[in-house]
Structure 1
């Protein structure tokens, strides 16, 4: 007790109690997550013990940042004013505010974990920017009055318990001197300084099991770490090759496929893709439907027994259906990046959300060169996730709800509002899929009347929490869960196709349907490969018979495949290639998170690059979804590094810009 009194004299008793309260609450949350994922967590004595120990250390570091300001206050506040009205107001206010922040963050962590199976990361930081959508979504998904009431009741209980234990009395009634208060103050400053200068959030990741790594972290610390570091330098954090060697490796693969490199002396991949058979080019309209969170596992075509995708399952038999297709990332903006830029995922934030992401070479540029109008449809407000700025800045006309910020002032594009009278149902994320499809048909009618081919990029929203949609459309009540949202999404597609087929323009329109990402990407493995598997299909292709394509590919390959099927001769800055022409050894899919960059090969071998210049090789077991370690293959390593390194280099050094490629803006 004497040692304790020296470290924490009576004046610091409330601060000590505050620290202890945080550690207890944080440990409870850590145990909740452990039991939540009990079947996935490595619960061997050594591993779970280390998980909790690391978590405890991060808790101490985190709470020290909160403790330092009050410790400094206690240090400099004169002894003669201990317990004064001012002292009591400051102390009660600081303590209450701290408790509320802790409780709010813990409740928020539970909802975030439910959605992403992660501690706070840069996604949570992004959500702070879009408070309208996020708050509305939370309000529609959870009983907010109950949660807020619960936080306030717990706060009141903790305040009452603190008062009953006499902690405040000891804090206000003592004779501690400045000398006695110096040691505990320096203790908290030292801990905070160590964590600020030397400890990184990723230092908690000491396990092969991803869930153990996440549970070992502390949510508040993870949040501020993500706020500070949401972009990663590839050259600083990942294994690299000499730049010229990396481009030589990538371009050699393009040459093998018959592409002509246009600037072989430069660090570029710009090339010409020719129609070697000299067939006439086809120019149908193209409507691309990017479906929110549509995992392959939801479809009956992939074994689902719920019968929630009857339309898509039927279309699988009447289209070019890609059943070995993988999303490149884990968020909508990652899907958009992969589809429009046809590029492997770069570390950190998606290019859609970065600066200098306008006037790039996208699939829209290929359509532009062929004389197409280009439109981006979104049922919500396109300022969310920077979508309007990205698509508008790359030549697309915008069709959205028209609220919020428009675009960068330097961007000149057409923006069309979806008016209230065109909306039958709307939730936090946007209007019902049926409503956005009706708008697509209306705009298509106008384009057809003008006699110009159109390319429409349509982003849906209905298959997203809070999973609400118009009642009476399907046999699952609105808001009851993901299965209902998937079934409504499928139903809306069926209604769209029925209406579109009655239009004159339909017979000359290709429909492409593909997910932006899976409903969940989390798993205990370094990369959960199964949770990147998505459906993709092309419907109404001219002169193409229905076929189920087994070749492995990813989102970046869909539009290069379409361009090939249309016999287009075009210049390309796209990494994707024609799936149908892939040789077995060329089959591959890029899959990644904002930190882990993976390459999956057609033989189910996987290599993953980590941000500590790490690389790991595995064999993916499709049945168990396990990754079995393999000896590293130098050829495979060179392939994955060259693709990811050149992609990052091109964006960072302007190699994706139209101007750099000699194209007019």
Structure 2
């Protein structure tokens, strides 16, 4: 039977497959003994654990065999053993074995710390390279481990060569037909695992350790990469769910709001702002979400740089938020915070997850008030799942899409930014001036209708490689972030200059805010100074310019705007009106993929995976964090916000009400 599955030409492939299965079995046995006290070691449970594990091992190795298998299938018999054949074969085999050995060593160190197969934490290691490499260097003898991998590889290579596997692979007359069945077999296995098997299918036991033993590390890694979300309830501190909701409701309640179902695990509430003296206003709203703009770059927020004259000037004519913080470190996290008005949940942003359509967002509020909602992006909105998210949550799409279509079930309008509308473009999309010109065109069209419009604009020019049209500012394109910021500011100035000539300008409110800061790297898990961003609301009728120094969050800006517009609306948003915020209610949510923080009264509470809690006092003079004994009340508050946010997402509590 083995000769039928693996004819002589596939001798090395057979060795490769068996080598992986044996090494994977060895790792599984090692984990079993390492955590034996925790494993359900009854005969049938253990047997099922290893059987499921073997099937996942087989599925995993089938993916790795495909490139070499296809090569073996198509290469002509007369080329068997040629220089080309030997070079390709030796290279493919060596690369595959080194990857296996490295992954198995990495799995052992990962299990030692987390007692789990690879998950999103392992994927996260690819994102925070500096911190991870530093941690690994301090924790493990890297030169010794790498030397060990190399020695084992050389030993295996020598052994396989001595038993004649390479010789058999190169010197044979295996016909094409004999290679068809094994090719079809492994391709079939790979397709089954690709389309019908999920990593969670290995979880067939009540015991978590058996579930983890049944998985295969490499397969788990790519599954986590595809759906990189950490389970809050499994990895983070929790409180009673009812207690969490009750506390959150107390924190977001206001004199002008009433919870619709106060006894349910939800935060839907009716908010009343209008009265006879304050009738609702319905101006157009244009929101500019600026890529990677830290507060530290604005002269109006203390910078010594003179690169944001437009924003500095606008800040003097606006409601200017001077103490506002982004929730995360990526664009999709900022989009999540702004549109859903929700604290960050661990893992990837909801923008990139499944089950992220038909949600209650700020677009829901605008739509209820009769607005058309439009999302503008200068690149292809297929990137980072933006079009699927915005298109599935009430926005029309205007982007630089060239080849990727919206999902068929998303019923929304999509408009392309055409070639003749582009003056400059880099890898991320068109320059800011071009996207603003498109916004002007679409606003002109919208103003002919009776409906007001809400335009969400995502800029890209302030992003590496920091390139932009030459001759616009006095800093050459592609030389520095400062140049990109100055061009970003210049483009906003040109946009306002043109907008002021339009009949719709007087009846349009402009909201400007960054998606996140320019950098998040620092000494701490969460570096507070790396989350402060600028935000302002300008051109709002009968509203005097004001600096708002209250500590607030990205999630609060649009609830504040809705209050200023005197709207009565149903809210499923965690954000609150900053202008009505009491001193004791001031707070900001900051986080990254693994750490979730609540900043309040110069104190920072951080929840980390593995149920780790750290508490600091923030010394603003030197941006230093001083470890303190945990404040239990603040801990419960922090847990409550993040736990309820996670609960609502996983229990459809973020969905629109029918």
What TM-score do you get using the length of structure 2 for normalisation? 0.70
- The aligned counterpart of 1:50 is none
- 2:406 corresponds to: 407
Aligned to 2:237: 239
Partner Cα separation in structure 2 for residue 480 and residue 457 of structure 1? 29
Change in 2 beyond 3 A, CA 1:391/1:225: closer
Shift of 1:631: 1.7
Preserved contact between residue 343 and residue 575 of structure 1 (Cα < 8 Å): yes
* 2:252/2:575 contact within 8 Å kept: no
Does the C-alpha gap of structure 1 residues 633 and 501 become closer, same or farther in structure 2, counting only changes over 3 Å? Answer: same
- State which of 634, 644, 660 in structure 1 corresponds to 2:642: 644
**CA offsets, 1:178-214, max 9 Å, x none?**
9xxxxxxxxxxxxxxx9x968x9xxxxxxxxxxxxxx
Question: Residue 261 of structure 1: which of 252, 259, 262 is its match?
Answer: 259
Deviation at 1:299, TM superposition (A): 1.1
When structure 1 is superposed on structure 2, of 482-491 and 222-231 the one drifting more is 222-231
- Cα separation, 2, equivalents of 1:228 and 1:376: 25
Whole-angstrom CA distance in 2 between matches of 1:235 and 1:321: 37
Aligned CA distance change for structure 1 residues 540 and 413 (closer, same or farther; 3 Å)? same
Structure-2 change in CA distance of 1:584 and 1:174 (3 Å)? closer
Other-structure match for 1:599: 598
8 Å contact from structure 2 (residues 256, 273) kept in 1: no
> Aligned residue for 1:610?
608
Deviates further, 583-592 or 268-277:
268-277
Task: Give the Å deviation of 1:88.
Answer: 5.5
CA distance in 2, matches of 1:548, 1:173: 73
- 1:359 deviates by 0.8
Give the distance between the partners of 2:389 and 2:226, measured in 1 at CA.
Answer: 23
**TM-aligned CA deviation for residue 556 of structure 1:** 0.3
Equivalent residue, structure 2, for 1:576 = 575
What does residue 29 of structure 2 align with?
none
> Is residue 328 of structure 1 aligned with residue 327 of structure 2?
yes
1:402 deviation in Å?
2.5
Alignment correspondent of 2:8: none
Tell me the residue number matched to 1:154.
none
Distance (whole Å) between structure 2 residues aligned to residue 410 and residue 420 of structure 1: 28
In structure 2, relative to structure 1, the CA distance for the partners of 1:432 and 1:223 (3 Å cut) is farther
CA contact (8 A) 1:327 1:554 kept: yes
Out of 618-627 and 429-438, give the one that drifted further. Answer: 618-627
Q: Secondary structure at the match of 1:635?
A: helix
Q: Structure 1: any 5+ residue segments left out of the alignment? A: 1-14, 16-64, 74-83, 106-118, 127-161, 179-193, 201-219
Quick one: distance in 1 between partners of 2:635 and 2:411? 43
Q: Deviations over 1:472-506 (max 9, x none)?
A: 00011111121111110000000000000111111
2:359 is matched with 360
Tell me which residue corresponds to 2:91: 93
Q: SS at the partner of 1:445?
A: helix
Question: How far off is 1:265 after superposition?
Answer: 2.2
Tell me which residue corresponds to 2:197: none
CA distance 1:633–1:303, shift in 2 (3 Å):
same
How far is 1:615 from its partner?
1.5
Q: 1:258-291: CA deviations, max 9, x gaps? A: 4200011211100011116541001111000000
Number of matched pairs: 497
Tell me the CA shift for residue 310 of structure 1: 1.1
Give the 3 Å change call, closer, same or farther, for CA 276–377 of structure 1 in structure 2. closer
Q: 1:471 is matched with which residue?
A: 470
Change (3 A) 1:405 1:175: closer
Shift, 1:405, TM fit: 2.1
| Gap change, CA 1:172 and 1:599, over 3 Å in 2 | closer
**Aligned mates of 1:411, 1:403 — CA distance in 2:** 18
Show CA shifts across 1:146-167 (max 9, x none).
Answer: xxxxxxxxxxxxxxxx9xxxx8
Consecutive unaligned residues in structure 2, runs of 5 or more = 1-15, 17-59, 69-80, 104-120, 129-149, 166-208
Match of 2:310 in 1: 311
Q: 1:123 to 1:471 in 2, by over 3 A?
A: farther
> Using the alignment, how far apart are the partners of 2:424 and 2:124 within structure 1?
30
Tell whether the 8 Å contact from 1:125 to 1:226 is kept in structure 2 after alignment: no
**Could you tell which deviates more after superposition, 612-621 or 532-541?**
612-621
TM-score (norm. length: structure 1): 0.69
C-alpha displacement at 1:89, in angstroms? 4.6
Structure 1's 302 and 221: CA in aligned 2 closer, same or farther, altered over 3 A?
A: farther
Correspondence 1:292 to 2:291:
yes
